[in-house]
Structure 1
Amino acid sequence: NPGTSSPLAVVETSDGSRFTMLAPEGIASGETVRFTERSILKPGNVLPLSSIPEGTPVYNIESNPGDGGKFARSGGNHGSIVGHGKNVIVKLPSGAQKKLHPRCRATIGVAAGGGRNEKPFLKAGKRHHALRSRGGIYPRVRGVAMNPVDHPHGGGAHQHVGKSSTVSRNAPPGRKVGSIAARRTGKK
């Protein structure tokens, strides 16, 4: 799925129409998923937050009722229900706790596609294409490897910064490389 790292599952409804949803970890083709309020707690089932007990892992969590899911959508991600009240408190993958409307829905389980980052790229070209699709810079050349005309850390008979790498907060653009307005440097 472009934009998220999780694979999609094609779901066929009882009337024969098809749509896609973010697949949960451990689902297989031919399994049944339910979208009712009283569905059992099974990976892939979609329930309102008010019907999900505390501690249950959920993903594709809605921010407002009916928006289709905004939080915890990338591969291997999940949030968990922390508490119920007037609003439902959900712990997001970032660790932040968010109060959401009880009618917001979420999918039970963990989004499939986790561990995607553990496999090495193996080829520079694969990394180039992956980063290019996301607007990343590749290859990223170090400043000390450049000439002095190209970077403040460039130049010299051997690769070294040659001056303090700590720069003022008020330094002009172009000089602002290295440790910007660092309170301290070195090992802790």
Structure 2
Amino acid sequence: MPLGTAINNIGITLGRGGQLARTVGAVAKLIAKEGKSATLKLPFGKVRLISKNCSVTVGQVGNIGVNQKSLGRARSKCWLGKCPIVRGVVMHPVDHPHGGGEGRAPIGRKKPATPWGYPALGRKSRKRNKYSDNLILRRWSK
């Protein structure tokens, strides 16, 4: 495969199937090939090494204009399987950590939380010293 090829549906490990660049309009570029590994630039700017034996699909994922389609009315989103999103602040305290209080109360905690009480919005969820850290060459591009 020549350098600069646009690819999608990239497998990270052999025999596992595609895990990267699978969404609508997503495309990664092949930057370099050396030894048994290849260097990819992923859609959000991350530069990563993968094995040359992994499976990929050449090209870009189609149906790019899916987000521009007007659904027409509120209920049609439910037909697509998208549930209504209810804010945690308007729930009861048994349902969400943000719930409860008198009237329109703010969240009673110092930082926002998930429905299960874990920190939300900004907390890093990736494990430290993960096995694939040495395969990631650059996390974000500016």
Band the TM-score falls in, shorter-chain normalisation: 0.5 to 0.7
Q: Is the 8 A contact 1:55 1:82 kept in 2?
A: yes
- C-alpha RMSD of matched pairs (Å): 3.9
Deviation at 1:166?
1.2
So what's the TM-score if we normalise by structure 2? Answer: 0.56
Q: Is the 8 A contact 1:76 1:114 kept in 2?
A: yes
Matched residue, 1:116: 66
Higher relative contact order (CA 8 A, sep 6+): 2
Cα distance change, pair 91–69 in 1 and its aligned pair in 2 (3 A)? farther
Q: Is the 8 A contact 2:95 2:115 kept in 1?
A: no
Count residues in correspondence.
118
DSSP-derived class of the 1:126 partner: helix
Is 2:140 the partner of 1:140? no
Matched residue, 1:85: 34
Cα distance change, pair 80–176 in 1 and its aligned pair in 2 (3 A)? same
The gaps in structure 2 that reach 5 residues or longer are 124-142
Deviation at 1:120?
4.4
Give the alignment partner of residue 117 of structure 2, picking from 176, 184, 187. 176
Per-residue CA deviation, residues 95-152 of structure 1 (Å, 9 max, x unaligned), is 2412322x445333211122323434433322223345xxxxx322223334566555
Cα distance change, pair 139–83 in 1 and its aligned pair in 2 (3 A)? same
Is 2:2 the partner of 1:61? no
DSSP-derived class of the 1:166 partner: coil
Matched residue, 2:80: 130
Cα distance change, pair 68–60 in 1 and its aligned pair in 2 (3 A)? farther
The structure with more radius of gyration: 1
So what's the TM-score if we normalise by structure 1? Answer: 0.45
DSSP-derived class of the 1:84 partner: strand
Matched residue, 2:132: none
